Amino acid sequence: MEKDSLLQRIKEGIADTCYICVREMRGTITDEGVLIFCVLVPLLYPILYSWIYNNEVVRDVPVAIVDMSHSHTSREFIRNFDAGPDAKVAYYCNSLEEAQDLTAKQQVHGALYFPEDFERRIYRGEQSMVSVYCDMSLMLTYKAIYQTAQAVASEMSSQVQIAQSTDFTTRDDEVTTKPLDFDEVPIFNTTGGYGNAILPGVLMLILQQTLLLGIGLAAGTARENNRYQDLVPISKHYNGIFRIVLGKSFCYFMIYLVMGAYLALVIPHLFHFTSLVSAQAIIGLLVPYILACIFFGMMLSCLVRYRENVMLLVVFTSVPFLFMTGISWPQSNIPGFWQGVASIIPSTFGVRGFLRISSMGGTLQDIEPEYQALWIQVLVYFLATCLVYRYQIIATRRRAFEHMQRLKEKAQAAKLQKSASNSLIAQEEP
């Protein structure tokens, strides 16, 4: 008998969990705001973002030339500079003031200045100087201009050294110009592309932020539709913390497991970004990451009453969350306090783990610290969500009980008043 009772309770729990999941799914589809942020934004926004960075490397940065030398050597320098893929000669100016004016108008991002004695000093065996003016407001353009000028200067310096030397062989020339040489060997992100560097972080952050938005908006809608603005409705199906939390979370998990696979596998291949992910590694990372984001969002949704506040909160936190992942700024240089704050955000470990899997070809063993941290967050946020929902259920039942008591008191008072009125009428009759 006891066994049958336990089995019946399990069946009721499973049925209620499925009921809550289906109802949450129906609410996601019918609520325009939730549908936009949970489905359309994860589908379309990564395409737009990846499209912007599809070129990967900054090319043909416009540069102004101020050539006061008008010599063969300066023209050779300019010709070699313009021949590179990163920068191009866009304007020839008669003065630095004119070049500065073009830079202020953002028609160029830098300038090369050749003094009058540029060639003369070289032929005298003296050090000559090319002034490179770069717009530091955009670091990528600065890098393109400076590195191109540095490469041309190094090559021409080698030619001058060879011309002035008394070497007899090509090998002697190499030793003269490069007594200490180095070999640059790029590892990981071998293309040097900015998209490959920043895209993994953005894709994982999109999953988290859209989840927070969708769950928060759904919670706001539930408060608006339910009596007394309660998060949990009064229903026989919503009779249990675990079935409520599991039912709601399973709905978002099904949606975002598909979205996660789309962002991690389809988007990089669609725009030809570097992707070294394996099925085992990406599934192993996405499962705890999505669950951590879901329970984190459900916990926060209980603290936010209005839909508008959810949008403000997510918009305000998106950029700081990206910085705290360590993808745009070295993690070691982040202040200790903010590193502590970052450790409670699922995207911190999700972005770092996905970067190693996608760009470095890592496995679950390689991202074990991030993998374990995400599962710890899943457990902690699940328990916190259960506690918060328990409080919501207790508060809902208390308000319902207080409302019923008030109705009973009103009914009792009306009954007494009616009885008193009938007594007065009976006394007044002859």
| pLDDT tens by residue, 345-392 | 998 999 888 888 887 778 888 888 899 999 999 999 999 988 888 887
Q: Identity (one letter) of the amino acid at 104? A: A
CA dihedral for 423, 424, 429, 430, sign (positive or negative): positive
CB 202 within 8 A of CB 8: no
Query: What is the torsion angle, in degrees rounded to the nearest 10, for the CA atoms of residue 331, residue 333, residue 335 and residue 338?
Result: -20
Q: What are residue 67's DSSP bridge partners?
A: 114
pLDDT attached to residue 264: 85
Query: Which CATH superfamily groups domain 61-177?
Result: abc type-2 transporter like domain (3.40.1710.10)
Average pLDDT (154-164) is 69
Q: Find the angle CA(204)-CA(208)-CA(214) to the nearest 5 degrees.
A: 140
Higher per-residue confidence, 13 vs 313: 313
CB 314 within 8 A of CB 216: yes
Record the tokens describing residue 339, joined without a space: 């590193």
Average pLDDT (85-108) is 89
How far is Cα 105 from Cα 38, in angstroms, rounded to an integer?
Answer: 41
Can you give the residue ranges of every domain in the chain? 61-177, 196-395
- Strands 61-67, 87-93: pairing is parallel
| pLDDT tens by residue, 19-68 | 778 888 887 788 777 788 888 888 888 888 778 776 667 788 999 999 99
| pLDDT tens by residue, 283-311 | 889 999 999 999 998 888 877 777 777 77
CB 90 within 8 A of CB 107: yes
pLDDT attached to residue 175: 43
CB 142 within 8 A of CB 95: no
Q: Is the pLDDT of residue 336 over 60?
A: yes
| pLDDT tens by residue, 4-29 | 577 777 777 777 778 778 888 887 78
Backbone angles phi, psi at 87, to 5 degrees: -135, 160
Cα distances from 149 to residues 31, 89, 130, 152, in angstroms, run 56, 12, 9, 5
Average pLDDT (82-89) is 88
CB 364 within 8 A of CB 284: yes
Alpha helices, DSSP H, located in 41-94: 41-52, 72-83
Q: Which residues contact 378 (CB under 8 A, 6 or more apart)?
A: 288, 291, 292, 295
Taking each helix axis from N to C end, the angle separating 241-261 and 194-225, rounded to the nearest 10 degrees, works out to: 150
Residue 3: band (very low, low, confident or very high) from pLDDT cuts 50, 70, 90: low
pLDDT attached to residue 64: 93
pLDDT attached to residue 245: 84
pLDDT attached to residue 182: 54
Average pLDDT (74-88) is 89
CB 287 within 8 A of CB 171: no
Record the tokens describing residue 128, joined without a space: 């000559």
Burial of residue 418, with CB atoms counted within 10 A of its CB: 0-12 exposed, 13-18 middle, 19 or more buried: exposed
Q: Identity (one letter) of the amino acid at 126? A: E
How far is Cα 325 from Cα 217, in angstroms, rounded to an integer?
Answer: 25
